[in-house]
């Protein structure tokens, strides 16, 4: 158990819909990263937050947005969903900038 | 731009044998971290081993060890006494903590199958 929690574990929805994925980092970790992993693909970095502030953006679509709240949990919002958005979405947390990144169990999103 | 390359998409090894997974990276930074993560069929991402670039000594964790060649920008993972539970996708990752974005860059992965 990495100490990072993600909810929900599974999500099935229809095209055009909007969903919110939630991540709670390990106790004390200030950084949250979001990644997308399509079937049999590598990890695509989406976005990084540090103590509530956005620090870096990767290949994140305009239909996707994220935020980190004062209690340090983070939410990834996916809107106008398309079939191609079906993937495993991971969040990972990190303490100090020299520390290791630990992954949550992921949220499996299926868009029908 | 920083990149991570894993040139072996798939590998297999007999149980109890040793296997080495390759990883090369490109960076102009001097201080960084390198990682190997394992992703078994459950798709959970599990940290295997970590190497600090400023350390010359190669990291070791039980049956897992790395061969870190900083000048060659090479970071290979050796798995000794392979076990069936080692069957997984292995990702090499580079962590830049000097640019201010604390970016992690992952390779495309090597799928390892341990044969009984």
* Mean pLDDT, residues A11-20: 97
The pLDDT score that the predictor gives to residue A27 is 93
Q: Which of B45, B61, B106 to probe by mutation at the A interface, max A CB count within 10 Å?
A: B45
DSSP letters along chain A, please? --S-EEE-SEEEE-TT--EEEEEEPPTT--EEEEEEE-TT---EEEEEEETTEEEEE-S--TTEEEEE-TTS-EEEEE-S--GGG-EEEEEEEESSTTSPPEE---EEEEE-
SS3 for B84? Answer: helix
| CA distance, residue B71 to nearest chain A CA (Å) | 21
The average pLDDT across A16-39 equals 95
CA-CA distance, A83 to A41, in Å (whole number)?
Answer: 16
Residue A97, chain B, CB below 8 Å: the answer is: yes
Three-class SS state of B29:
coil
**Statement: residue A40 has pLDDT above 80:** no
Q: Is residue A41 pLDDT above 90, yes or no? A: no
Query: Could you tell me where the DSSP H helices lie in B11-114?
Result: none
Which one of A33, A43, A98 would you mutate to disrupt binding with B, by most B Cβ within 10 Å of its Cβ?
Answer: A43
Residues A45, B105: C-beta atoms closer than 8 Å? yes
pLDDT score recorded for residue B20: 98
Would the CB atoms of B102 and A103 count as touching at under 8 Å? Answer: no
Strands B88-96 and B110-115: antiparallel
pLDDT above 80 (res A31): yes
Q: Do the beta carbons of residue B113 and residue B24 sit within 8 Å?
A: no
Instruction: Determine whether the interchain pair A103/B37 forms a contact, defined as Cβ–Cβ distance below 8 Å.
Output: yes
Q: Would you call A33 an interface residue with chain B, using a CB distance cutoff of 8 Å?
A: yes
Distance from CA of B105 to the nearest CA of A (A): 8
Tell me the shortest Cα–Cα distance from A41 to chain B, in angstroms. Answer: 7
- Given a cut of 70, whether residue B101 has pLDDT beyond it is no
B8-57: pLDDT as tens digits: 999 999 999 999 999 999 998 888 999 999 999 989 999 999 999 999 89
Cα A27–chain centre separation: 17
For A54-67, the pLDDT digits (tens) are: 988 888 999 999 99
Q: What are phi and psi of B62, to 5 degrees?
A: 55, -115
Give me the pLDDT at residue A39, please.
Answer: 80
Q: B63: helix, coil or strand?
A: coil
| Coil vs helix vs strand at B85 | helix
B68-78 pLDDT, tens digit each: 999 999 999 99
Per-residue pLDDT at B89? 96
pLDDT at B56: 87
The answer to whether the CB atoms of A101 and B101 lie below 8 A apart is: no
Judged by CB atoms closer than 8 Å, whether chains meet at B97 and A98 is answered as: yes
Of A69-73, A85-89, A94-98, B4-8, least confident by mean pLDDT is: A94-98
**What mean pLDDT is predicted for residues A46-60?**
91
Band of residue A96 on the pLDDT scale cut at 50, 70, 90:
confident
């Amino acid at each position: 158990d990495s100490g990072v929690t993600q909810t929900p574990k599974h999500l099935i929805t229809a095209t055009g819909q909007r969903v919110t994925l939630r991540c709670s980092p390990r106790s004390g970790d200030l950084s949250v990263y979001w990644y997308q992993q399509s079937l049999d693909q590598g990890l695509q970095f989406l976005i990084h937050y540090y103590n509530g502030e956005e620090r870096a953006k990767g290949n994140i679509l305009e239909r996707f947005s994220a935020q980190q709240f004062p209690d340090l949990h983070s939410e990834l919002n996916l809107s106008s969903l398309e079939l191609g958005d079906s993937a495993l979405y991971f969040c990972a947390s990190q303490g100090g900038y020299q520390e290791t990144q630990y992954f949550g169990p992921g949220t499996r999103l299926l868009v029908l | 731009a920083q990149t991570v390359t894993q040139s072996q998409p798939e590998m297999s090894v007999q149980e109890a044998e040793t296997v080495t997974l390759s990883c090369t990276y490109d960076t102009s930074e001097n201080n960084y971290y390198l990682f190997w993560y394992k992703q078994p069929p459950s798709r959970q991402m599990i940290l295997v081993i970590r190497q600090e670039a400023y350390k010359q000594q190669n990291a070791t964790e039980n049956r897992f060890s790395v061969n870190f060649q900083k000048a060659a920008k090479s970071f290979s993972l050796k798995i000794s006494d392979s076990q069936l539970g080692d069957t997984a996708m292995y990702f090499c990752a580079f962590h830049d903590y000097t640019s201010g974005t604390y970016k992690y860059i992952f390779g495309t992965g090597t799928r390892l199958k341990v044969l009984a």
